[in-house]
Amino acid sequence: MTDLRIVFMGTPEFAVKSLEAILEAGYNVVGVITAPDRPAGRGRKLRESAVKTFAVSKGLNVLQPTNLKSEEFQQELKQIDPNVQVVVAFRMLPESVWNYPEFGTFNLHASLLPQYRGAAPINWAIMNGEKETGISTFFLDEKIDTGAMIMQESVVIGEHENLETIHDRLMNKGSGLVVKTLKAISEGTTKPIAQKDSGTLREAPKLNRENTKINWDKPLNEIYNHIRGLNPYPSAWCYLDNGDAQEQTVKIYDVISHNEEHDHFYGKVLIKEKQLLVAAKGGFIEIKQIQLPGKRKMETHSLLNGFKFSEKAKMR
């Protein structure tokens, strides 16, 4: 069994669980690389990443390079001299970095590769109505999410689960897979398999304003999946026309779908017994949580106590 000198690379909360599991398993983490502190919030105060906060609390050596190709960082990497690197939710690495360790650099990706390569695999799997997703470890190469597979584990996506619940389940399962992968590397038992790009491959591109907007002309189930795949972050959105001169941008979070035939136009807003409903093809989306411009996210029943929807109200 080989003694591993691990450098861990990650930034968000999703990565913290894997770093914690590595430490609990007794592995030697010689360095943690994470994003530089960035201004955040109304006061624009510097905020450190979730990984940095955790790593500092454990007394680990933390590096926050702004340029992974810089000579300064290359020298720092040589000084800590890892023989394996673990990447969880971090940015793209130059070859000089991922190819440095003797036993390679592997990444934890939140999908069953080769499906859903890209920046937002959990969101897109739910948005596309998948019944199953999972996590994969693979060795990095020069392309994005294409390296040789090491291990995979799957999880079922419940019909009513959203991004938050699947994210947490994959985070916990992924931390275990990272430890299993390190064990296999240490014991020399890994058998990497090339990814097979056969069949239809679905991508997981970065989320933006365009691809998070709700299209109320879509079938009911597609709208429902779109919204739950973006709940709670970054959230689905659309325009609300309340019959006045100016449209408002609203964010929509928790919803219920109701299959029901109707003759309303798609996007029509209806209020029925303290329910906020929007007509769609094949039924209605019942909005349980919503956020109006300049307001906090709120439960719909609270909104309806003080906000008046006109009979002409519609969403688009």
Query: What's the CA angle centered on 177, arms 184 and 156, to 5 degrees?
Result: 140
Q: What is the pLDDT of residue 32?
A: 98
Summary count for the chain: helices (H), strands (E): 8, 20
For residue 231, the model assigns a pLDDT of 98
| pLDDT attached to residue 79 | 97
Name the residue among 223, 214, 215 with its Cα closest to residue 284.
Answer: 223
User: pLDDT tens digits, the chain, 316 residues: what are they?
Assistant: 899 999 999 999 999 999 999 999 999 999 999 999 988 777 778 899 999 999 999 999 999 999 999 999 999 999 999 999 999 999 999 999 999 999 999 999 999 999 999 999 999 999 999 999 999 999 999 989 999 999 999 999 999 999 999 999 999 999 999 999 999 999 999 999 999 988 899 999 999 999 999 999 999 999 999 999 999 999 999 999 998 868 999 999 999 999 999 999 999 999 998 899 999 999 999 999 999 999 999 999 999 998 999 999 999 9
Q: What's the pLDDT at 45?
A: 84
Distance separating alpha carbons of residues 269 and 259, to the nearest angstrom: 16
Rounded Cα gap, residues 19 and 8, in angstroms: 7
Q: How many beta carbons lie within 10 A of that of residue 216, not counting itself? A: 20
Give the pLDDT confidence score for residue 40 in this predicted structure.
78
Q: How far is CA 169 from CA 164, 166, 175, 214, in A?
A: 9, 5, 10, 26
> pLDDT value at position 246?
80
Instruction: Give the global pTM.
Output: 0.95
Q: How many residues are there in the chain? A: 316
DSSP code at position 219: B
Residue whose C-alpha is closest to residue 109's, from 131, 92, 84: 92
